[in-house]
Amino acid sequence: MSTSAVAHAGHPPTTTGLDHRKIAIWAFIGSECMLFASLISTYLIYKGRSRVGPFPHEWWCQTTNATSATGPIAGCPAGALFKPILNIPVTSQSTFVLLMSSLAMVLALAAVENKDKPGWAGPGFGGRLLESSKLWLLSTALLGAGFLCYQAYEFTSFVHEGLTIKTNLFGSSFFTLTGFHGAHVTAGVLWLLTLLAIDVKRGLGPRDALLVDISALYWHFVDVVWIAIFTLVYLIR
């Protein structure tokens, strides 16, 4: 691994004392903010502008194109009535899963940073659990993968309920926004699994903490973006 090339002998110290990769990941995150800002803005601009359903928060009758925010539309034939498509209880679960992955990420970083201080997490089984960087890297990746499973389920059920990326403006902007987020989570899971593989192969210690640190920054950022999406897309009508 290209661990801390900066600290090598012969290189002058960096101006800020920070590793280059730490600066770069922050610049990257700044750039990613604009990426998601564009996606979220587009979603919000197009909110309520779809000509046909299904809609995120409203009932929709396909035959009359009538909508209702309160409940089923009277007189709409059975096959033509579509319910609000967003499933907030299920998405709340997936949001919880993703938030927990951030917790696991924090624990993974702490485990790597303190690898050379056995017993730092206290005595007993709990302490040994907290000290296992492999466990927490794996947990983070699995929770991320769990979130992706929820997303796959959500996308599939939406398609079954008649909403595809081609259906209307809501479908296009919703699938593109959440799909971009899902792609970021996927990249993060691959990144975490790579770190896990390195950990298994040779063990990650305090001098590799930066590798985990920058992946954690990325992971928390993706998590924060989801909180914005969950609030703006799912919770606010």
The site map against another protein for 169-208 (x = CB under 8 A) is x-xxx--x-----------------x--------------
Q: How many residues does the chain have?
A: 237
Structure tokens at 154: 């959500």
* Selected binder of another protein within 159, 165, 193, 232 (CB under 8 A): 165
Which of 32, 213 has the CB closer to another protein? Answer: 32
**DSSP letter (8 states) at residue 58:** S
What are the distances in angstroms from CA 115 to CA 5, 149, 154, 200, 221? Answer: 21, 32, 39, 14, 25
**What DSSP element (H or E) covers 68?**
strand 66-68
Residues 63-97 as b/e (b if ≥16 CB within 10 A, e otherwise) read eeebbbeeeebeebeeeebbebbbbeeebeebbeb
Binding to another protein by residue 90, rule CB under 8 A?
no
Q: Minimum distance from CB of 118 to another protein (Å)?
A: 28
Binding to another protein by residue 215, rule CB under 8 A?
no
The site map against another protein for 12-31 (x = CB under 8 A) is x-xxx-x-x--xx--xx-xx
Which of 144, 171 has the CB closer to another protein? Answer: 171
Binding to another protein by residue 38, rule CB under 8 A?
yes
